[in-house]
Amino acid sequence: MTEVLVAPFSLRQLYQGGRLSQYLLLLACAAAVVGLFASRALVALSPIVGLVAACTQPNLRASLKQWFHLRTVVCIALLYVFLVISGTYTTQYAVWQHEIYRKLPLLIVPLAFAVAVPLTERQKYGIGLLYVVLATSLAISTLGRYLLDPEEANRLISIGQNVPAITGIFHIHFSIMLALAFFFALLLRRNPLATPSVRWVLLGCATLMFIIMHVLAYRTGLMVLYAMLLFDAVILIMLQRRFVLGVLVLVAMVGLPLGAYLTLEPIQGRVAVTLEDIDQYQSGRNINDYSLAKRFAAWETATIIAREHPWLGVGMADVDAAMLGQYSYHNFGLKPKNWVMTHNQYLEYLVGGGAVGLLLWLLVLFGPFLQPALRQNPYVIHFLLMMSVANLVDSLLQMQIGFNLFVFLYGFIVVSAERAARSPANVAT
């Protein structure tokens, strides 16, 4: 009788071979993606798992040295350092303490992607597929909620409200997540690992998300989507000299929204309420029930504060208090419950950190484009440009889901891309 020898499971072997660190990083990524769409608990746990993945890197000392040389890691860490320094002049000490804890992922998540054993191309591809599939599933489920009572949904849209995501994700963040998933699906189709059947599935996912975003008339998501299409057209024409394809994208940018406006009642309602919003603000009438007009008032309020504190701002933890103080002086006829905050991440850093804070934020968003390898990476380009547009109309880092979305994708896409570009194999070639 032949005896079969089975090698015993060895945690030490997993550690020494780097697989333990890699599997933990993969687990952290999967938890982050699932958590973004369905569970706050998983999102909160994923940075901890990522930190453990970094600590179980068998070549920890060498990886830590590399960590300090990654410019993307340094730039995003400076945001956290500046937050800490702003405590020296803050008046909202309790809020500052909370922010110090809440924004620790600015250090932890990039550390995980810079130090842990990197994911394989197949593993990264799998995480990308997971994001697209979950986004598509959630979009379809939310569309189902719309179809249960389209008349009521259209009425809500016509008065400036939105059909909420089935899992309760705030509509602004949800729409941005769908816009990102649309482009990720198209980019993943070009991956060598994508089989013909998977390419068709990804095309179907992209098509569904494009249609659903228009049916649900998510204003922020559509703005981000069409802005990125414009960027793509410019890149195709100006940089890649692919004139025919670039012109086709430009034509689609005009034709598709026009067709959506002529055929979809939600788009018609959204356009009408947007124009009414603008008119209410410009004419000085009551804007208490107009979301875009309240955002205009917030931007004007934030600008006034920024002019009074141009260099270091009021303190990163003092932004809300400063906004409320300015509203008490000039409130645009708004009731206190409608005194909204900055709704613009650039203004958030300008008010809280002055010119220094805004410069640091711009370094995070646009600094990677100073590196040739990163500005040629389509995932880096699409993620950073789309987030730069989205931050024009909302302070995404102030709500936890927006903060988690940005920090995770920054680590997964941008930090990982720089690390890969600086790896000895790539440097040698």
Locate 419 and state its tokens.
Answer: 């690390």
Among 205, 207, 253, 245, which Cα is nearest to 227's? 253
Locate 325 and state its tokens.
Answer: 């103080």
Angle between helices 378-390 and 345-366 in degrees, nearest 10: 170
Among 66, 67, 65, 77, which Cα is nearest to 363's? 77
Locate 120 and state its tokens.
Answer: 């394989």
Among 326, 82, 359, 358, which Cα is nearest to 90's? 82
Q: How far is residue 261's CA from residue 255's CA, in Å, rounded to a whole number?
A: 10
Give the length of the chain.
429
Locate 14 and state its tokens.
Answer: 């997993």
Q: For the range 229-237, what are the long-range contacts, defined as Cβ-Cβ under 8 Å and sequence gap of 24 or more?
A: 229/253, 231/381, 231/385, 235/381
The DSSP result for 31-92, as a single string, is: HHHHHHHH-HHHHHHHHHHHHHHHHT-TTHHHHHHHHTT-HHHHHHHHHHHHHHHGGGS-S-
Locate 280 and state its tokens.
Answer: 């209410």
What are the residue ranges of helices labelled H in 103-195? Answer: 105-115, 121-148, 150-158, 171-188
Locate 222 and state its tokens.
Answer: 């559509």
Among 28, 232, 214, 283, which Cα is nearest to 130's? 28
145 Cα distance to chain centroid: 25
Assess contact for 199 and 209: CB atoms under 8 A.
no
Assess contact for 360 and 407: CB atoms under 8 A.
no
Q: How far is residue 113's CA from residue 289's CA, in Å, rounded to a whole number?
A: 44
In this prediction, residue 425 carries a pLDDT of: 57
Q: How far is CA 197 from CA 14, 65, 135, 194, 205, in A?
A: 34, 42, 19, 8, 12
What are the residue ranges of helices labelled H in 284-334? Answer: 291-308, 319-329
Residues 130, 136, 141, 142: what is their CA dihedral angle, to the nearest 10 degrees? Answer: 120
**What amino acid occupies position 249?**
V
In this prediction, residue 426 carries a pLDDT of: 58
Q: Report yes or no on whether pTM surpasses 0.85.
A: yes
Q: Would you call 414 helix, strand, or coil by DSSP?
A: helix
Element (H, E) at 357: helix 345-366
pLDDT along the chain (429 residues), means of 10: 50 88 97 92 92 95 87 97 97 97 97 97 98 97 94 88 88 96 98 97 97 96 96 91 90 92 92 92 91 94 97 97 96 95 97 98 97 96 98 93 96 97 63
Q: How far is residue 353's CA from residue 317's CA, in Å, rounded to a whole number?
A: 10
Degrees, nearest 5: CA angle 46-48-50: 70
